Amino acid sequence: MSDPQNEFAAFVAIDWADRKHTFSLVAAGQSKKESGTLEQKPEVIGPWVAGLRERFGGRPVAVALEQSRGALIHGLLAYDFLVLFPIHPTTVARFREAFKFSGAKSDPLDTDQILEILVKHLDLLKPLQPDTEQTRLLGRLAEDRRKAVNLRTMHAQAALAALKEYFPQAIEALNGNLCSRLAGNFLKKWPTFAAFQQARPQKLKKFLIGHNIRSPEVIKKVLALAEQGQPLTSDPAIVESGWRLAQIVPVYYTASIDWGLRLK
């Protein structure tokens, strides 16, 4: 059985951050460690990786990082001689605790820990095997969609709170559901109670039927809200700030169509 240590010309540990990464490096068969920092810029990372290729003759280099995805990972995956080993952050934290480090997080200490895990426990680590382009795209789209849904929900709750302050009739007319095509178009057309109150009954009825609302009871209720309702407040500061905030509902409805969130 081949020794995993003999497969690599060098071992690199990277403690990544949004803008700057700290690294530790040791060549195979040597004990002297090198360290440095890298900015999260292609014009910095590219030459650094090219230097590794030239220095070690294109032989495989093992790279350990505390992440399995992100800008740095995607950038390093482009280089065929780099073999990436993602390490879960809790593994490094437990390693620090087990060997009684001070517990204070510092970049050089973390890269040394990651490097020691990589060099001494390489046989327990699994190299990153990137999925196919289609699978990676599907995964990213699914995650981005989840984030978009969460953002939509958060903003819909903010819009609901605003409507309670200046236009509660809209909440009743929309049956409390702001995450809908009906809500998006309703608040775009009638962002305030004054605008809603001025709408002609026939126009309101046509609008509702156009959104597949044909129940006579529901239509009668909405018409009554416009004809008989009274404004909750006439304070311009509350009304204007409220309708401006409520306009995120039409914006999110349009974005939902583009993202395929399938709002009804």
| DSSP states along the chain | ---GGGG-SEEEEEE--SSEEEEEEEETT----EEEEEES-HHHHHHHHHHHHHHTTT--EEEEES-SSSHHHHHHTT-TTEEEEE--HHHHHHHHHHTT------HHHHHHHHHHHHHHSGGG--------HHHHHHHHHHHHHHHHHHHHHHHHHHHHHHHHHH-HHHHHHTTT--SSHHHHHHHHH--SHHHHHHS-HHHHHHHHHHTT---HHHHHHHHHHHHH---S---HHHHHHHHHHHTHHHHHHHHHHHHT----
Residue 112 is assigned to a structural domain of this protein: yes
- Asked if 111 and 204 sit in the same domain, the reply is no
- Asked if 148 and 239 sit in the same domain, the reply is yes
Of 99, 130, 161, the last residue of a domain is: 130
User: Does the pLDDT at position 91 exceed 80?
Assistant: no
Give how many domains the chain has, as a whole number.
2
Question: How much is the pLDDT for 71?
Answer: 75
The CATH number of whichever domain residue 27 belongs to comes to 3.30.420.10
Q: What percent of the chain has pLDDT over 90?
A: 42
Question: How much is the pLDDT for 77?
Answer: 84
- Asked if 193 and 90 sit in the same domain, the reply is no
- Asked if 111 and 156 sit in the same domain, the reply is no
Residue 264 is assigned to a structural domain of this protein: no
Residue 223 is assigned to a structural domain of this protein: yes
Residue 263 is assigned to a structural domain of this protein: no
Question: How much is the pLDDT for 146?
Answer: 82
Which residues contact residue 135 at a Cβ distance below 8 angstroms, ignoring those fewer than 6 apart? none
Residue 146 is assigned to a structural domain of this protein: yes
- Asked if 74 and 10 sit in the same domain, the reply is yes
Question: How much is the pLDDT for 253?
Answer: 59
- Asked if 43 and 144 sit in the same domain, the reply is no
Q: Pick the more confident residue, 64 or 146.
A: 64
Q: What tokens appear for 55 in the block?
A: 């220095």
Q: What percent of the chain has pLDDT over 70?
A: 82
- Asked if 171 and 117 sit in the same domain, the reply is no
- Asked if 11 and 123 sit in the same domain, the reply is yes
Question: How much is the pLDDT for 107?
Answer: 45
Q: What is the pLDDT of residues 9-38, one digit of tens each?
A: 999 999 877 678 889 999 998 989 999 998
Question: How much is the pLDDT for 221?
Answer: 95
- Asked if 212 and 154 sit in the same domain, the reply is yes
264 pLDDT band (50/70/90 cuts)? Answer: very low
Q: Is the pTM of this model over 0.75?
A: no
- Asked if 125 and 37 sit in the same domain, the reply is yes
User: Does the pLDDT at position 46 exceed 70?
Assistant: yes
- Asked if 14 and 119 sit in the same domain, the reply is yes
Question: How much is the pLDDT for 69?
Answer: 63
Question: How much is the pLDDT for 196?
Answer: 95
What number is the average pLDDT over the span 135-141? 72
Q: Of 41-45, 50-54, 251-255, which one has max mean pLDDT?
A: 50-54
Least confident of 120-134, 176-190, 242-256: 242-256
Mean pLDDT of the chain: 83
Q: Phi/psi zone of residue 67: left (φ > 0), alpha (ψ -120 to 50 degrees), beta?
A: beta
Residue 213 is assigned to a structural domain of this protein: yes
Domain span including residue 214: 140-257
User: Does the pLDDT at position 40 exceed 60?
Assistant: yes
Q: What is the pLDDT of residues 170-228, one digit of tens each?
A: 999 999 988 888 988 999 999 999 999 999 999 999 999 999 999 999 999 999 999 99
Residue 135 is assigned to a structural domain of this protein: no
What number is the average pLDDT over the span 78-94? 82
Q: Pick the more confident residue, 180 or 115.
A: 115
Residue 262 is assigned to a structural domain of this protein: no
Of 106, 130, 154, the last residue of a domain is: 130
Q: Pick the more confident residue, 68 or 168.
A: 168
Least confident of 41-45, 86-90, 101-105: 101-105
Of 77, 110, 130, the last residue of a domain is: 130
What number is the average pLDDT over the span 235-245? 91
- Asked if 242 and 144 sit in the same domain, the reply is yes
